[in-house]
Structure 1
């Protein structure tokens, strides 16, 4: 098993994200944590968009009561959108389609779309995603993507990626897994600070910004490790659903093709 790590979304080469790659995208503060929480709150699906304009365009395909427009740009909630902090969304998303626009995380997901499979991971569900990949692995290269922030490295994504890689190596039983230096560095970084998730996230630049906006509750929420058995997966290049629904959708497409 070969595991590679990209330190920011700007390192994604969509041409290299092909049928022999599995992408696992992290934006711990907050996009991928928000997506995981949204599906846990009962959302039917999440549509990650590139920007506000695409979100508004996508919303035109639905009745207003069917969707929740959620988004931020440069850390500020977009006018007319819901705040993407998970604590503010609880109780508001059941059976809705969430159209999510963020500065970094949703962009990283979309750029990773050409991969054979694209999983959305966070500290909340990293263990569940690692178990799923370990049980379905077919000799693909695992590309772990840290979204970063506007072309800058983010320690919280590096920490989350390290958590996932550590879990995946343990779940697969491949103690001799082929880790690139970046992947190994993240794994060792996490393993040395595994009991300090809240402190690590709080001390980051984005963490400090969230505290400034009185969102410390969200840092506490998303710093929990392995508490959700949710495996979100991107299908059709634009829609995130739970893995079981993704498999059912792909099976239906295959039957239709026959």
Structure 2
């Protein structure tokens, strides 16, 4: 019987564990939300980079003028890079261009997960679309990778993981065996079930972002099912599936 497992932090992820599995990487505030929004807004592809140096190496392989560098390091802007949050990046001329994206957590998790058979990027923005896509992998085990925040478990990532597990269970009851971490994630989702905004605003990172005058970015990222797209890794970049 196929299984669903939730990884609580990217630091807990063993790349060898993902072999022949389907991985879904989650970083609600903000990496995967930004990726989903960027592709929705016409970006050709998003190249996740584990750090600034990898991003700079990536652009050497791209044509001049065909890319935009975006990202952050511990919520601080990187010199020469544009904004890392979904609304900020949407103000840049990304349509038809590649976004080379480096963040502290989510893009690191995406690169670490690239040993999986399939890798998707999930946010609240596209969560229902991800559920539909995962149902096409009914014979595969699924690993939901919560990026966390610099080694800490994030409430908002667990909420989304719990939503995904819950919706898959509703769609195909008892089809996937669930790990203990699935039950933890579903408990978090159950606490905030109808209030993703409430979850994000109560999370430690959400509070910090609010204090940095980024409430609009948090509220945008809290919109469940706003965008009907599924970003999937193709080699070293993500495109809409």
TM-score (norm 2): 0.95
- The runs of 5 or more residues in structure 1 that have no matched partner are 244-258
**More displaced, 174-183 or 52-61?**
174-183
Aligned counterpart, 2:75? 75
Aligned counterpart, 2:159? 159
Aligned counterpart, 1:174? 173
1:142 equivalent to 2:142? Answer yes
Q: Is the 8 A contact 1:166 1:191 kept in 2?
A: no
1:3 equivalent to 2:11? Answer no
Shift of 1:190: 0.7
2 CA distance for matches of 1:151 and 1:189? 19
Q: Secondary structure at the match of 1:15?
A: helix
Kindly report which structure 2 residues correspond to 1:31-42, keeping only aligned pairs within 5 A, or say none.
31-42=31-42
Shift of 1:197: 1.1
Kindly report which structure 2 residues correspond to 1:80-229, keeping only aligned pairs within 5 A, or say none.
80-91=80-91, 92-134=93-135, 136-171=136-171, 173-175=172-174, 177-229=176-228
Q: Is the 8 A contact 1:32 1:105 kept in 2?
A: yes
Shift of 1:27: 0.4
Q: Secondary structure at the match of 2:115?
A: coil
Per-residue displacement from partner, 1:170-189 (whole Å, max 9, x unpaired)? 23x22453111111221232
1 CA distance for matches of 2:73 and 2:175? 41
Q: How many residues align?
A: 239
Instruction: Evaluate the alpha carbon distance shift between residue 71 and residue 131 of structure 1 in structure 2; reply closer, same or farther with a 3 A threshold.
Output: same
Q: Is the 8 A contact 1:169 1:175 kept in 2?
A: yes
2 CA distance for matches of 1:140 and 1:102? 29
**More displaced, 52-61 or 113-122?**
52-61
Q: Is the 8 A contact 2:36 2:125 kept in 1?
A: yes
Shift of 1:133: 1.4
Shift of 1:138: 4.5
Q: Is the 8 A contact 1:38 1:93 kept in 2?
A: yes
Q: Is the 8 A contact 1:120 1:231 kept in 2?
A: yes
- The Cα RMSD (Å) is 1.3
Aligned counterpart, 2:237? 239
Q: Secondary structure at the match of 2:11?
A: helix
Q: Is the 8 A contact 1:123 1:163 kept in 2?
A: no
2 CA distance for matches of 1:120 and 1:84? 16
TM-score (norm 1): 0.89
